Amino acid sequence: MEWDALGAVAELMGAIAVLITVGYLAVQIRQNTRSSERSGLSYLRDLHLLTEHNEQYNVLVLKSLRKETLTPEERLLMVERFYTIMKGFEVLWLQQQLGSVSRDQFDLHIDLARWALSAPACRRMWSQMSSIYSPGFQDLIAKEVLSEDSPISRMTKAFSAIDPDWVDAA
């Protein structure tokens, strides 16, 4: 066999190896993306379970909505859970910004943040603690959760019209 023919065979084998490598990398990237999405959704599920199945926290939110006084221990628990929920949403928002979680998936669960911030005590906590979150996340909360046009603001106004003592409209 001549050197030219041998060189052509080697180039062909090299091209095939490159194609196999590119195919392998594509599969790995797809698997990594799916794993990241599952991780983000798993985190969100855990966050949802933290609030949904935590009777003590839910009672505290209801007490806040009813403008009942919380004990110092209840306030501490409320701050801890609020921080955990909002930090969880910040992480989920960051994953959405990086493309690990789709905007549609994120939007399906933003109502939990709206619900958390519907309680006057939680709104006060947000106003006092918002600086510990990233500026982009602060903007998201301001525009999509707390703005006058947000669903929570419309819901708060509707509740206030029904029973002014039930929800703090501020």
> Can you give the residue ranges of every domain in the chain?
38-162
pLDDT of 21 > 80? The answer is yes
Under the banding of pLDDT at 50, 70 and 90, the label for residue 170 is very low
Q: What would the mean pLDDT of 1-29 be, rounded to a whole number?
A: 85
pLDDT at 15: 87
Between 66 and 169, residue with greater pLDDT: 66
CA separation for the pair 74, 168 (Å, rounded): 20
pTM exceeds 0.95? no
pLDDT at 27: 85
CA separation for the pair 30, 5 (Å, rounded): 38
pLDDT at 135: 95
Sign (positive or negative) of CA dihedral 145, 138, 53, 74: negative
